[in-house]
Chains A and B, each alone.
Chain A
Amino acid sequence: MSNIFQQLINGLSLGSIYALMALGYTMVYGIIKLINFAHGEVYMIGAFLGYYFIQVHHLPFILALVLAMVISAFLGAVIEFLAYRPLRNSSRIAVLITAIGVSFLLQNVMIYFFGSNPRAFPQALTKKVFEFHGVQISSYQIVIIVTTVVLMLLLQFIVQKTKMGKAMRAVSVDADAARLMGINVDLTISFTFAIGSALAAAGGVLIGLYYNTINPMMGVTPGLKAFIAAVLGGIGIIPGAVIGGFSIGILETIVSALGFSLFKDAFVYAILILILLVKPSGLLGKNVKEKV
Chain B
Amino acid sequence: MKLFNRINACWLALIIGSFALLAILIQAGIIDSLYEMTLVSIGINIILGLGLNLILGVSGQFSLGHAGFMAIGAYSLGISYSQDPTLKGFVIGILIGLVLSGIVAVLVGIPTLRLKGDYLAIATLGVAEIIRVAIVNMNITNGAAGLSGIPLFESIPMWQLVFLFVIITALVVVNYVRSGSGRATLAIRENEIAAESVGVNTTKYKVIAFVIGAMTASIAGALYASYYGTIVPDNFNFMKSVDILIIVVFGGMGSVTGTFVAGILLGILNTLLQDAGDLRMIIYSLALIIIMIFKPSGLLGSKEFLFSKIFTKKKAKNKKGESTDDTIRS
Interface, chain A (partner B; CB < 8 A): 33, 35, 83, 86-87, 90-95, 97-98, 100-102, 104-105, 107-109, 111-112, 220, 224, 227-228, 231, 235, 262-263, 265-266, 269-270, 272-273, 276-277, 280, 290, 292
Closest B-chain residue to A227, C-beta based?
A: B122
Interface, chain B (partner A; CB < 8 A): 56, 62, 111-112, 114-119, 121-123, 125-127, 129-130, 133-134, 136-137, 191, 193-194, 197, 238, 242, 245-246, 249, 253, 278-279, 281-282, 284-286, 288-289, 292-293, 296-297
Closest A-chain residue to B278, C-beta based?
A: A112
Report yes or no: B197 in contact with A292, Cβ–Cβ below 8 A.
Answer: yes
Report yes or no: B193 in contact with A266, Cβ–Cβ below 8 A.
Answer: no
> Given known contacts A224-B125, A269-B129, A280-B115, what 4 new A-B pairs fall within 8 Å (CB)?
A35-B118, A93-B253, A95-B292, A272-B126
Report yes or no: A90 in contact with B296, Cβ–Cβ below 8 A.
Answer: yes
Shortest C-beta distance, A196 to chain B (Å), equals 17
Shortest C-beta distance, B115 to chain A (Å), equals 6
Residues of chain A lying within 8 A (CB to CB) of residue B112? 273, 276-277
Interface centre among A86, A92, A95, A101 (most CB of B within 10 A): A101
Closest B-chain residue to A272, C-beta based?
A: B126
B interface secondary structure, majority: helix
Shortest C-beta distance, A130 to chain B (Å), equals 35
Report yes or no: B285 in contact with A105, Cβ–Cβ below 8 A.
Answer: yes
Report yes or no: B288 in contact with A104, Cβ–Cβ below 8 A.
Answer: yes
A108-B278, A112-B279, A266-B134 known; A101+B126 contact, CB < 8 A: no
Report yes or no: A276 in contact with B293, Cβ–Cβ below 8 A.
Answer: no
B293 contacts which of A33, A86, A112, A277 (Cβ < 8 Å)? A86
Report yes or no: B130 in contact with A269, Cβ–Cβ below 8 A.
Answer: yes
Residues of chain A lying within 8 A (CB to CB) of residue B282? 105, 108-109, 112
Report yes or no: B119 in contact with A280, Cβ–Cβ below 8 A.
Answer: yes
Shortest C-beta distance, B6 to chain A (Å), equals 36
Shortest 7 CB-CB contacts between residues of A and residues of B: A269-B126, A94-B296, A104-B285, A266-B133, A90-B296, A101-B288, A108-B281
B129 contacts which of A101, A262, A266 (Cβ < 8 Å)? A266
Give complex CA distance A107, B286 in Å: 12
A interface secondary structure, majority: helix
Give complex CA distance A135, B245 in Å: 47
Give complex CA distance A266, B137 in Å: 11
Residues of chain A lying within 8 A (CB to CB) of residue B194? 292
Report yes or no: B278 in contact with A87, Cβ–Cβ below 8 A.
Answer: no
Give complex CA distance A280, B253 in Å: 26
Report yes or no: B284 in contact with A104, Cβ–Cβ below 8 A.
Answer: yes
A98 contacts which of B130, B134, B191, B292 (Cβ < 8 Å)? B292
Give complex CA distance A102, B289 in Å: 7
Residues of chain B lying within 8 A (CB to CB) of residue A263? 133, 137
Report yes or no: B278 in contact with A224, Cβ–Cβ below 8 A.
Answer: no
Residues of chain B lying within 8 A (CB to CB) of residue A95? 292
Report yes or no: B285 in contact with A101, Cβ–Cβ below 8 A.
Answer: yes
A98-B289, A104-B281, A108-B282 known; A270+B130 contact, CB < 8 A: yes
Give complex CA distance A87, B112 in Å: 29
Residues of chain A lying within 8 A (CB to CB) of residue B62? 93
Report yes or no: A83 in contact with B289, Cβ–Cβ below 8 A.
Answer: yes
A97-B249, A263-B133, A277-B112 known; A87+B126 contact, CB < 8 A: no
Report yes or no: A101 in contact with B289, Cβ–Cβ below 8 A.
Answer: yes
Give complex CA distance A33, B117 in Å: 11
Interface centre among B56, B246, B282, B284 (most CB of A within 10 A): B282
Give complex CA distance A266, B123 in Å: 12
Report yes or no: A273 in contact with B126, Cβ–Cβ below 8 A.
Answer: yes
Residues of chain B lying within 8 A (CB to CB) of residue A269? 125-127, 129-130
Report yes or no: A266 in contact with B197, Cβ–Cβ below 8 A.
Answer: no
Shortest C-beta distance, A162 to chain B (Å), equals 29
Give complex CA distance A109, B121 in Å: 27
Give complex CA distance A35, B64 in Å: 13
A selection of 18 A-B contacts at a CB cut-off of 8 Å is A83-B293, A86-B293, A90-B296, A92-B118, A93-B249, A97-B292, A101-B288, A101-B292, A104-B284, A105-B282, A112-B278, A224-B125, A266-B133, A266-B134, A269-B125, A280-B114, A280-B115, A280-B119
Give complex CA distance A97, B248 in Å: 11
B296 contacts which of A91, A105, A227 (Cβ < 8 Å)? A91
Give complex CA distance A21, B57 in Å: 31
Residues of chain A lying within 8 A (CB to CB) of residue B56? 93
Report yes or no: B246 in contact with A97, Cβ–Cβ below 8 A.
Answer: yes
Give complex CA distance A32, B154 in Å: 52
Give complex CA distance A14, B218 in Å: 37
Residues of chain B lying within 8 A (CB to CB) of residue A231? 119, 122
Report yes or no: A100 in contact with B242, Cβ–Cβ below 8 A.
Answer: yes
Report yes or no: A273 in contact with B123, Cβ–Cβ below 8 A.
Answer: yes
Give complex CA distance A137, B35 in Å: 58
Closest B-chain residue to A290, C-beta based?
A: B193
A224-B238, A272-B126 known; A97+B137 contact, CB < 8 A: no
Residues of chain B lying within 8 A (CB to CB) of residue A104? 281, 284-285, 288
Shortest C-beta distance, B323 to chain A (Å), equals 34
Shortest C-beta distance, B18 to chain A (Å), equals 29
Interface centre among B117, B122, B136 (most CB of A within 10 A): B122
Residues of chain A lying within 8 A (CB to CB) of residue B133? 262-263, 265-266
Closest A-chain residue to B121, C-beta based?
A: A35
Give complex CA distance A94, B56 in Å: 13
Give complex CA distance A266, B296 in Å: 33
Residues of chain B lying within 8 A (CB to CB) of residue A91? 296-297
